[in-house]
Amino acid sequence: MKISNQLLVLGVLSALSAAAAADSGGPAAVDTSNWKCESCKFEQGVSGTLDVGAGSVSDKSAEFGHYAGLHKKGGYFIGDTAVRSRGEHGAYWNLNASNLGLDTRSVEAEGGRQGSYKLRFKYDETPHRISDGALTPYAGSGGASLTLPAGFAAATTAAMPLASALQSVDLYTQRNQLGLGASWNRTREWEYAVSFRHETRDGNILRTGGAFFVNTVQLIEPVDYVTDQVDASASYTGKKFQMKLAYYGSKFGNGNKSLTWDNPYATPGFLATFPGAGSGQLALPPDNQFHQVSASAGYQFSERTRASADIAVGRMTQNDNFLPYATAVAGPGGSLNGRAATLNAGLKLNSAVTDRLRLNAAYTHNDRDNQTPQALYAVVSTDMFAGTPRTNLPYSFKQDKLKLSADYRASARLRGSVGADFDVHKRTFQEVDTTRENTAWGKLSSRVTDKLDLTLKLAHAERRNSGSFQAVPGITPPENPLLRRFNLANRTRETAGLRADIAVNESINIGLGVESSEDKFADSAVGLTNAKDFNVNGDVSATLTERTSLHLFANRQEIKSKQAGSQTFSSPDWNADSKDKIDTFGLGVKHAAIKDKLDIGADYSVTRSRSEINVNTGAGNPAFPHVTASLDSLKLYAAYRLKENLSLQAGYWYERYASRDWMLDGVTASAIPNVLALGLQAPQYHVNVVRLSLRYKF
């Protein structure tokens, strides 16, 4: 509007000047060839930034590198760029690349003509470093077959030749994704789009374990996944009506169908008693497909009222051939012929009834119909014993949600919202057929003074199931009839929150908040009986001077729970209390040390967590040792402008992490006689990272 108004004014002035000149006998026309609109500039050409440099990591640590790609000790290349080009008639292209020297690298490009077509390309890598301290005697990690050296088997881990056989294996996954896409507009209203993504994921992950009766071994599972995804859509955008038709397809393939491993406890005497237990086998994720067709539409009835609806119909299939029941026991043959149909639908209505009152309504329906055929299958326990045959249970569910809310602005200083949510969940092959949960909530926001804003939130929820719990057929051994699963049990939930935002002056702002929630399971004799979550936080931002700004935050969270259990398949005879405390503090400062020349800054954060578990069996058992973790992180950075378009970027990052976990600490490969463990310990590290790069702007 600003540009068109300016042009209109120029046109009117030109016409008036011409008319005035004609009336006075002056020139009949005005030369406007050199007139310019200062607000009508459209940049053309190529511009962007380029970062080139080097960094160094002081120590190897999977826990520190995790998803950042900084898990290796040594130097790495810094390469980042962001380039854009604008041409005539709406032609453009963008290129963004980051972390080119790390295995978190990504490259994304987009180009086309605005309002006509668009082409997209994307490639990225995402690592997940799990551990670099796993120790195993198995050869073949990363493959589908794990083998032991000749003569390794022994009755206990203490008797196994672990000192000479253990080897280090990194636990990690590496995901690489390639994406291509295009969209084009045939008319102003219609847009068509199609995209394709190819993703590979490989590595090693921790398998819970394989067992032979009472003997167990922790295993390393191979990851060799390929996923292909396709999206296609057609969209219409009119003045009042909008719609979209789309298709989504996904195909997953696993390069390994199963994992087999040698039994480390398979001594000659053991094999004489159980001749088929020399090795074990576990199924890995099977190949599968998912296809979905969806439609969505929206209609603007008026400036105040809008409605939208969507529906999606999908189908999942899995038809991999069955594996043998055990390495020495033939399987049933054929495949599961697994299939499930999905239906997701929604409807929304929003209306600004008046300038002060707005009403909202939303309904969603989710349906998963598992159509997998039921059959009777033989059961082999821990690759050794034949068990009672069982029938598979194809789990299905239906869920209906209705959300109603109203927003009301009582005055410029007072706003309020109220709402009610209704959730009905129906399940098959579960202890409860139906659960119904109703929630009422309210929110009040008030500007008490020009310097104080308060926000209060309250909610009350009640979930009730369809009646007494029922035993699920086919589960052996059966569950305690007094057990109540926390997601199915009757539950009352109370939540409250209060937030205060204080503007001390133009330079200092303070925020304070507190939130609390409590779940009560009054009808649960065995299971979770109570859960609480309490959180208090504060933050401060301050502009100390024209060149210096400061921000800090602090947070404490406490999570508590109580549960009851039974050792005798009857009434509860033990209970457990758990408490988690997490404290976090952070401080950051930015300072223009030399105006328009040197900027420096620092960020420091501290996190402390503590987990306590107390179990009371009436026998005076000691409490479990505390699980603790502490994290200290310091980041320093600076940017020095060498020239108008060239600057030097420097950074330093120090991080220290220490943890104690009784479930891991001291559990070496031979610590437990009948458990061959991977020897993973609670992670500890302290790492320094330095970065130095040049940034060029063009």
The pLDDT > 70 percentage for the chain reads: 94
Q: What is the CA radius of gyration of the chain?
A: 33
What pLDDT sits at residue 3?
41
pLDDT at 36: 60
Confidence bin at 31 (pLDDT 50/70/90): low
pLDDT tens digit sequence for 84-109: 999 998 999 999 999 999 999 999 99
Query: What pairs with residue 127 in β-bridges?
Result: 174
| H-state helical runs in 455-522 | none
Please give the pLDDT value at position 13.
36
Confidence of residue 193 (pLDDT cuts 50, 70, 90): very high
- pLDDT over 70 at 210, yes or no: yes
577-590 average pLDDT score: 98
- Among 65-69, 292-296, 686-690, which is the least confidently predicted range? 65-69
Range with the lowest mean pLDDT among 115-124, 293-302, 476-485? 476-485
Calculate mean pLDDT across residues 174-187: 96
DSSP H or E run through 175? strand 167-185
Q: What is the mean pLDDT of the chain?
A: 92
Residue 19 confidence (pLDDT) above 70? no
User: Is 552 domain-assigned?
Assistant: no
Cis status of the peptide bond prior to 477, with omega within 30 of 0: yes
Residue 34 has pLDDT above 80, yes or no: no
Token pair for 405: 């809310």
Q: Tell me the average pLDDT across 505-532.
A: 97
For residue 38, name the pLDDT band (cuts at 50, 70, 90): low
Q: Is residue 156 part of a domain?
A: no
Q: Read off the pLDDT of residues 237-284 as tens digits, 9 standing for 90 and up.
A: 999 999 999 999 999 999 999 999 999 999 999 999 888 889 999 999
H or E stretch at 635: strand 627-643
- 273: in domain: yes
pLDDT in the model for residue 220:
96
C-alpha torsion 80→86→90→91, nearest 10: -70
Residues shown for the chain: 698
Helix, strand or coil for residue 131? strand
> Average pLDDT, stretch 187-211?
94
Split at pLDDT 50, 70, 90, the class of 41 is low
pLDDT range class, residue 136, cuts 50, 70, 90: very high
pLDDT digit string, tens, across residues 301-357: 999 999 999 999 999 999 999 998 887 788 888 999 999 999 999 999 999 999 999
- Measuring CA to CA, how many Å separate 558 from each of 12, 504, 555, 581, 629? 69, 29, 10, 5, 15
What pLDDT was estimated at residue 621?
Answer: 77
| pLDDT band for position 40 (cuts 50, 70, 90) | low
Residue 372 belongs to a domain: yes
pLDDT in tens, 370-393: 999 999 998 887 777 777 888 999
Asked if 515 contacts 494 with a C-beta cutoff of 8 angstroms, the reply is no
Cβ atoms < 10 Å from Cβ of 679: 20
Please indicate, yes or no, if residue 224 is contained in any of the structural domains.
yes
- 3-state DSSP helix/strand/coil % of the chain, to nearest 5: 5, 65, 30
Average pLDDT over residues 619-635: 92
Q: Is residue 248 part of a domain?
A: yes
Average pLDDT over residues 469-498: 89
What does the pLDDT read at residue 578?
96
Residue 11 banded pLDDT, cuts 50, 70, 90:
very low
Q: State the total domains in the chain.
A: 1
Residue 259 is predicted with a pLDDT of 95
Model pLDDT, residue 468 = 75
What is the rounded distance in angstroms from the CA atom of residue 141 to the CA atom of residue 166? 12
By the 8 A CB rule, do 91 and 70 touch?
no
Q: What does the pLDDT read at residue 445?
A: 98
Report yes or no on 242 lying in a domain: yes
CA angle 638, 644, 646 (to 5 degrees): 55
Better pLDDT: 476 or 228: 228
Q: For residue 229, what are the domain limits?
A: 139-146+182-290+301-310+323-342+353-358+367-394
- pLDDT of 29: 57
| Least confident window among 33-47, 310-324, 444-458, 548-562 | 33-47
- Distance separating alpha carbons of residues 594 and 600, to the nearest angstrom: 9
pLDDT-based confidence at residue 42 (cuts at 50, 70, 90): low
pLDDT at residue 491, as a whole number: 98
Q: Would 24 be classed as within a structural domain?
A: no
The closest alpha carbon to 376, from 358, 361, 388, belongs to 388
- Average the pLDDT over 35-59 and give the result: 83
